[in-house]
Structures are given as C-alpha cells and as structure tokens.
Chain A
Amino acid sequence: MLDKHAKLERNALAFVFAIIFVASIGGIVEIAPLFTIDETVEEVEDMRVYTPLEVAGRNIYIREGCYACHSQMIRTLQDEVERYGPYSLAVESQYDHPMLWGSKRTGPDLARLGEKYSDAWHVAHLINPRDVVPSSVMPSYAWLQRNSLRYDDMGLHLAALRKVGVPYTDEMIASASHDTYGQARPDSERADEFLERYGEDSNVRLFDGDPGRVTEMDALVAYLQILGRLTDAAHQQANDQTEGD
C-alpha cells in the first residue's frame, strides 16, 4: 500500500483526481437520494405559497440576519413540542429558497410564530424589544418603520422563485406589485383582487398600523404572521408520538 502511495505522490494530476474521487463519495450517497426519494417531503393538499408581501418580508428577515438568533425548525423532542408546538415537517419549508432552519437559539424558535401575537405587539417589539420584554437582548429595528418598502420589482422576484420551483402562476407574477400593495391596504380594490388570487383566508391588514405607505415593517410583520401557517399538516400529525431515543 505504501508503495502505491509513494507512486501517487509523484503524480500531481493523479493526486488531484484521487482527492476529488475520495471526497465526492459522501456527498453523493447522502445528498443525491434526497432529490429523488418521495419520502423526503410529505405530500399535502393545502400547502400554499408565500404572497409577494410575505416574500418581501422574508427577504427582510434574511437581510437583517434574524436567522442568526432564531431557528425555524422544531425538533422531534418532547420539550420542544411543548414549548413551541408540533414538530416541523419537511413540507413546511418546501418553498423556502433558501431554508431558514437556523443553528442557534439566542432567541426562541419562530417556526410556529404566526398569529401568536397581534400585529401591534410585533411592531412595538421590533421598534424596541425591551418595551415589551424588559430583559430581551434583541436589537431594535426601528428603521423598518421608517423605510418604505420597495415593491415595484416583486414580479421579478416571483419569476425567479418560479424558476427554482415555486408554483406561481403567470397572473400572480404579472400582478405581484399590485398584490403587495393590496395585502397591506385592506380598503383598496387591490386588496380584493389579491384575495381572489391568493385565497380568502390570506391576511389582509394594515400590518404596521400606519395607513400612509407600505413600509418594510408591513412586510416583515406579514411574514412573521404566516410562519407555520402555510399548511395545517403538522397540526394534523400532532397526535403522533414524539420520537424518543
């Protein structure tokens, strides 16, 4: 064996191919099947896509690095299920490009945050977390309320998401920026059109409480309020036993 290796060490190209070969095996065995095996992701009927306003909110969540302190993945452990709710299913992040499961809980998990608090609570909390949770170490995000949301290009965002596999229709893409506005403006005509496209139980509200303009706060709160509510599958499974080992 040592002789063979001594030969390999004399040939740079052979060494390069040996490294590529040896290093590729693990990834190929573990990752490739995930794309083909049906069991990886459950099939559910009621899974819905993010609305344009929620996509914009999700992008703000990413931009501000919220995922650095908050996970969105409830593990199959008794205490987590009791603290946060039913454990997360694969299908729930099926349309998450990229996923935001996170790896650190400086703050609590957010996978089932949707509708747990009021919009007003979120706005106050984001402007200054210590106003509502006195010993919180979360940063304040006051500028979200000051910044108008840019949404004239939401069609492009939805189109890119369709390219990676999210089933947006042509109509959704064409009216994406109108829908963004509509979801945050309950009194407008666009709100009705939005509801027609995305379903009656979508949230249409003045998320930031300010009827003036659509802000980044509107988008982020709209996103937070939908966390864990894209499908009901996890709750339906909730009676199943928590795994233990």
Chain B
Amino acid sequence: MVSQLTRDERGSAMILCVILTLFGATLGLMGRDDVLGWHGALLALSGMVLLFVVMNKLYDPDPDPDRVTRYYDDPTKVGVIVSMMWLVFATFVGDWVAWLLVYPEATFDAGWSSFGRLRPVHTTGVIFGFGGNALIATSFHVLQRTSRARLAGSLAPWIVLIGFNLFCLLAVTGYMFGITASKEYAEPEWYADLFLVVIWVVYFVLYLRTLARRQEPHIYVANWYFLAFILVVAILHIINNLAVPVSLGHAKSYSLFSGVQDAMTQWWYGHNAVAFFLTSGFLGMLYYYLPRRAGRPIFSYRMSIISFWGITFLYMWAGSHHLHYTALPHWVQNLGMTFSIILVVPSWASAGHALLTLNGAWEKVRDDATLRFMFVAAVFYGLSTFEGSFMAIRPVNSLSHYTDWTVGHVHAGALGWVAMITFGTFYTLVPMLWNRERMYSSRLIEAHFWLALAGTVIYVFAMWNSGIVQGLMWRAYAENGTLAYSFIDSVDAMRPYYFARAVGGFLFFLGGVIGLYNIWMTTRMPTMEKPPVYDLPPVVEAEPAE
C-alpha cells in the first residue's frame, strides 16, 4: 500500500494519521465518563497504528514514475477482501440472531450479546460492511476503465476505504456497547455520522475529479448509478441524522425530529437506502460486469436511460409505504402507494434489460457459475421489486406489515439480488485485479452458487410462510366474534419456520466462507508468465475531456 505512494503523499498520510489520532484523543477525553470514551480511544488507536504503518515505509524508494500509465487497483483489491470478511462476519451474526429466535437462551448473560444489540450489528455489517466495501471497490475499478483514466489521487482512495471501514467499526462496536440512535440503517451516533460525511465528501470529489480526466466523451451508464448512489446517500444521511447531542462528551443524541415527522423522514431515508445503497450502486455493478462476463453489449441504451431516471425520480416518493394505516396523514400514504406501484416499471426494465443482455449467451449461463450468479441476481431483483410494489398496496400491507413477510422480502432482495450480484462481480473481477487467468477453483464457485441459492430459497420460503401465517392469525376471528388467537399462539406457530430460516442462513453463510477462501487462494496463486490483457490501459498525456 504505502510503497505505491510518493514521499510527499506519505507525508500527507502521516499528517492525516496524526489528525485522526488527535480527534480520537479529544473525543476520548471529552467522553471519558461515557461510553463515548471507548470510541475516542478506538479512533486514537487506529490513528496510531496507521501512522506506524506509514512511518515504517516512509523511506522506501519512491514508486515507479510509470505508475500513471497504469490503473490504480490496490484500493480495489483491499476493498474486495475486506468486503468478503464483513460478509462472513455479518452473516455469522445474522445466523446467530436467527438461532436466537429458536433458542432464546443461546447467548451470554451480557448486554452486548442480546438479540436487540446484535441485530443491528448484522444489518450494518451486511449493508455497509459487505455492500459498502463492495460498492467502493468496484466503483473505483469501473470508473477508471470506463474513463480510461487513473484515479485522480493515490491517497484519496485510501482515505475513503479506511475511513469508511472505521465508520463501520464505530457503528458495529457501538451497538454492542449500547450506542445507537435507533433509526433503522442509520443507527450510528452523531460523531460517527459527522465522520462519515467527511469521508463521503472525499469520495465524491475523487469521483468527480477522475471523471474530469476521462478520455471517453460520454459518461458510461454504470457511472450514472454510482454517482446517484454517492450523491443521494449523502443527502439522505445528512437529513435523517440531524440531531442534538446531550453534550460533546456524550455519545447519546436526540433526533431533531419527533413523532410523525421523524417517522416520515426515517422511512424516506430507509426506503431510499434500499434504493440508492442496495439498488442503484449494485445496478452500476451489473451494468459493467454482466456485459463483460457475458461478452455481449448492453441490450439497449434507451432502456438504460429510462430505468435510470425512473428509479432516481420515483423511489424518493415511495418511503411512506412503510407507514400505511399509521398516524401519518392519508394523502402521504396514498402518494407512497401510487409511486411504489409505478416503480415496478423501471425496476422491471432494469431486470429485463439484464436478461435481454444475456439473451444469446444462455449456454454460458449454464456452464459458468459466475455468470449464473449474475443471472440469478437479475431474477431476484425482478422478483423482489415486484413483491415490494405488491406489498406497498394498502390492503396487502395491512397483512404483511410488522410480519416476517417483510423480512422475507428484505432477504429476497438482500441475498438474492445484492449478495448474488456481488459474488458474480467478485469472481469476474478478482482474476482481472490480480492478473490471473481464472479463479483458484471453479468447483468451489459452483459449490458457493448452490449453497447461496439453496440458502436464499429456504430463507425466503420460510419467511413467506411465517409472515403470512402470522398476519392471518393476528386478524383471525373466532365464531363468537372475538379474536381467535392470542399473540403467543402466533409466536408458537413460528417455531418451524424460524428453524428452517436459521438452517438456510447457515448454508448461505457457509457459501460465503468458501467464497472468501477461493478469493484468497486466487491471490496466492503464482503470477502467470503472460497474464491476459484484460483492459485497455489508461490514456496519459492527452488533454482532459472537459
């Protein structure tokens, strides 16, 4: 890492490490009577470790001046590995949490290990740790190839990657200490939120500066999606997390909004975290790696435009479908429902687009598990968006809301779409990054594919069943006109489904472990004498496009 930086850049890196250390130390001192102190210490320690790493290599020779004629892929390499590590960790926690609903005693007599604190560890770990790192890593890779330009800066990508992971670490350790703002998918507290804003600005500026260097006049579709991801996540993050801390020495803060307004802001955020974190960015991946792997061009340029603007416009209206029949004013609920239904159009356009791009390469889909991952991802994307639009219809939602049906929908999207597209992408990307002819083992990819698919199908079917059973039991009336079941009756009825879900989850987790091993072994394979040329090199010395 460090040897790829010039001496000047190493100097700047050291200054940043010192700033991080001082920031952590200040936070730690101010929060010494509070759990905040631990987080201050964690940041200060991280700053010192990083400083040590840089100093250790400070006087190494300068990097090859030719580096500008190559793409800068070290951050992507690290991002891919870290992403897979988060996946293994967070699906482990997810499965633990799933078992806790079968055997509630299967934990320790301590706060950190109870269901309520581990659940956000799981959601943050998968969405931000696994998904976020995958997005950052692939966005750097795609951006450079489609622009035919090297990243604008060698230090900035590390700031983004390391900073983002520190944020995830603050988040996940925080929940276990009991630090949480309680807003779903936005649980980290004010100082972590501010920290992320800084990181995100660096990310955005790096993206724009690299785009400015591009040698292709047009910005490729994948980059539209990555840009939308970066921009809209920034807007959502800042607005939803507005809060007043108890003091600068307290981790705890109080949300600026309350009640209805808070609920609407939260679900405007929540639904669009789905849209711009779990959808937009991953569509960016799909639009680049699927055509490459299939060896076929994107089916239709016009269709890309329609889906892109459709998704960017419509999603932002749909958040209120999380609040049907609540104290939120009716007109907002109805708007949310309407736009959610229309949303199926651009969503299916994207999913259909992916399948049409594959049309003509079906024999590859059959033989190549990597491409099959992407194919299945597109199918689950179509399925979960159709399901989502369906669940957004008020009477349907009256049954599905608050039940496991929502959880089933979430994981159809998360396992079937987000995770599968990422696996397909990584298996395409890893040999390119490390200049290998292929992955270490194609049989392990095959095994991973079947474990992931089986796990997903078991999970989703179990939750559809449990959700619908739950929903029906809650509203069932006995002949004498009273409610037929007590709440605990519905809890008892969930047992077999929760058991099945935990088993399915374990298969999925196992697939992830195999994936990490396979990727790791690929990086250990001997470098080939004549590695294949995957990409046209960056164009240097020409004038920038703008």
The smallest C-beta distance from B392 to any residue of chain A, in angstroms, reads: 14
With A37-B329, A65-B180, A71-B402 already in contact, the answer to whether A6 and B218 are too (CB < 8 A) is yes
A23 touches B228 (CB 8 A): yes
One of B181, B253, B264, B483 near A83 (C-beta < 8 A)? B483
For the complex, what is the distance from the CA of A98 to the CA of B487, rounded to whole Å?
A: 27
Residue A196 interfacial (CB < 8 Å): no
Tell whether, in the assembled complex, residue A98 and residue B258 are in contact, meaning their CB atoms are under 8 Å apart.
yes
Residues of B within 8 A of A64 (CB): 111, 114, 116-117, 178
A25→B317 CA distance, assembly (Å) = 8
Q: Which residues of B contact A245 (CB under 8 A)?
A: 394-395
Which of A26, A34, A79, A156 is within 8 Å of B313, CB to CB?
A: A26
Q: Is the CB of B109 within 8 A of A16?
A: no
Among B180, B259, B268, B406, the residue within 8 A (CB) of A63 is B180
Contact across chains for B235 and A24 when beta carbons are under 8 A apart: yes
Q: Which of A62, A82, A90 is close to B327, meaning CB atoms less than 8 Å apart?
A: A90
B460 smallest CB distance to A (angstroms): 16
Is B10 at the interface (CB under 8 A from chain A)?
A: no
Contact of A24 among B181, B316, B394 (CB under 8 A): B316
List chain A residues, Cβ under 8 A from B516. none
Chain B residues with CB under 8 Å of A157's CB are 246, 252, 254
Contact of B110 with A19 in the complex, beta carbons under 8 Å: no
Looking at B312, B326, B492, B546, the one whose CB has the most chain A CB atoms below 10 A away is B326
| Residue B107, interface by CB 8 Å | yes
Q: Enumerate chain B residues within 8 angstroms of A9, measured Cβ to Cβ.
A: 218-219, 224
Q: How far is the CB of B312 from chain A (nearest CB, A)?
A: 5
Within 8 A of B (CB), among A75-110: 75-77, 79-80, 82-83, 87-108
* A35 CA / B323 CA spacing, docked (Å): 17
Q: Which residues in B have their C-beta under 8 angstroms from that of A63?
A: 111, 117, 178-180
- Chain B residues with CB under 8 Å of A71's CB are 402
Residues on A with C-beta less than 8 A from B198 are: none
Contact A153 B258 (CB under 8 A): no
- Residue of A15, A106, A141 near B224 (CB, 8 A) is A15
- The DSSP consensus for interface residues of chain B is helix
Q: Is the CB of B546 within 8 A of A98?
A: no
Q: Is B265 an interface residue (CB 8 A)?
A: yes
Minimum distance in angstroms from A107 CB to a CB of chain B: 8
Q: Is the C-beta of B520 less than 8 angstroms from some C-beta in chain A?
A: no
Distance to closest chain A CB from B263 (angstroms): 5
CB closest chain-A residue, reference B109: A142
B424 to chain A, nearest CB (A): 26
On whether A164 and B258 interact (CB within 8 A), knowing A26-B339, A68-B115, A76-B325, the answer reads: yes
* Residues of chain A with a CB closer than 8 A to B250's CB: 153, 156
Task: Tell yes or no: B496 within 8 A of A by CB.
Answer: no
Closest to B117 in A: A65
Q: Report Cα–Cα, A95/B258, bound state, in Å.
A: 6
**Of residues 143 to 181 in A, which have CB atoms within 8 Å of B's CB atoms?**
143, 153, 156-157, 160-161, 163-166
Residue of A nearest to B111 (CB): A143
Residue pair B316, A27 in contact (C-beta under 8 Å):
yes
Verify B219–A156 contact, CB threshold 8 A.
Answer: no
**A10-B219, A82-B483, A137-B104 are contacts. A103–B406 as well, Cβ < 8 Å?**
yes
Measured between C-beta atoms, what is the minimum distance from A144 to chain B in Å?
9
Contact with A along B210-230 (1 / 0, CB 8 A): 011000011100001001100
Which residues on B sit within 8 Å (CB–CB) of A101? 263, 323, 326
CB of A188 within 8 A of chain B? no
- Binary per-residue interface labels of chain A (186-208) against chain B in the complex, 1 for a CB within 8 Å, 0 otherwise: 00000000000000000000000
CB distance B259 to A94 under 8 Å?
yes
Is B309 a contact of A34 with CB atoms below 8 Å?
no
CB of B337 to closest CB in A, whole Å: 11
B228 touches A19 (CB 8 A): yes
Q: How far is the CA of A72 from the CA of B403 in the complex (A)?
A: 14
Closest residue of B by beta carbon distance from A108? B487
Chain A residue at minimal CB-CB distance from B545: A10
Contact B109 A97 (CB under 8 A): no
Contact residues in B for A15 (Cβ distance below 8 Å):
219, 224, 227
**Judging by beta carbons under 8 Å apart, are B178 and A19 in contact?**
no
> Which residues 316-358 in B have Cβ within 8 Å of A in the complex?
316-320, 322-329, 332, 335-336, 339
Q: Are B483 and A93 in contact (CB under 8 A)?
A: no
**B 175-214 binary contact with A (CB < 8 Å = 1; else 0):** 1001111111000000000000000000000001001100
Residues of chain A within 8 A (CB-CB) of B546 are 11-12
Q: Which residue of A lies closest to B120 (CB)?
A: A65
* CB of A30 within 8 Å of the partner chain: yes
Which residues of chain B are within 8 angstroms of A11 by Cβ–Cβ distance? 546
B224–A34 contact, CB under 8 A?
no
B257 touches A30 (CB 8 A): no
* Complex CA distance for A25 and B313, rounded to whole angstroms: 8
Across-interface contacts of A35 in B (CB, < 8 A): 261
| C-alpha spacing A166/B323, complex, angstroms | 24
Q: Which among A73, A100, A104 is the interface contact of B407 at CB below 8 angstroms?
A: A104
Contact mask for chain B residues 431-455; partner A; CB cutoff 8 A; 1 contact, 0 none: 0000000000000000000000000
Query: Does A67 sit at the interface, judged by CB under 8 A?
Result: yes
With most chain A CB atoms within 10 A of its CB, the pick from B179, B217, B487 is B487
B255 at the interface (CB under 8 A from A): yes
Given contacts A26-B317, A97-B257, contact A156 B246 (CB under 8 A): yes
Residues of B within 8 A of A29 (CB): 317, 335
Tell me the minimal C-beta distance from B490 to chain A in angstroms.
Answer: 9
Answer yes or no: B162 CB below 8 A from chain A CBs. Answer: no
How far apart sit A240 and B247, CA to CA, in the bound complex (Å)? 44
A99 touches B231 (CB 8 A): no
Chain A positions within 8 Å of B217 at CB level: 10
Q: Is A12 a contact of B219 with CB atoms below 8 Å?
A: yes
In the assembled complex, B68 has its CB within 8 A of some CB on chain A:
no
Complex Cα gap A64–B116 (Å): 5
17 new A-B pairs (CB below 8 Å) besides A19-B232, A138-B104?
A: A9-B218, A9-B219, A23-B312, A26-B318, A29-B335, A31-B264, A64-B117, A82-B483, A90-B327, A92-B327, A93-B262, A98-B181, A101-B326, A135-B492, A137-B104, A139-B116, A143-B110
The 7 closest A-B pairs by CB, nearest first: A65-B116, A26-B316, A26-B317, A75-B325, A93-B259, A98-B255, A90-B327
24 CB contacts below 8 A, A to B, read: A2-B302, A11-B546, A20-B231, A22-B313, A27-B316, A34-B264, A41-B260, A63-B117, A73-B327, A79-B474, A80-B474, A98-B257, A99-B259, A101-B323, A101-B326, A105-B470, A135-B492, A136-B104, A137-B498, A142-B109, A143-B109, A153-B246, A157-B252, A166-B258
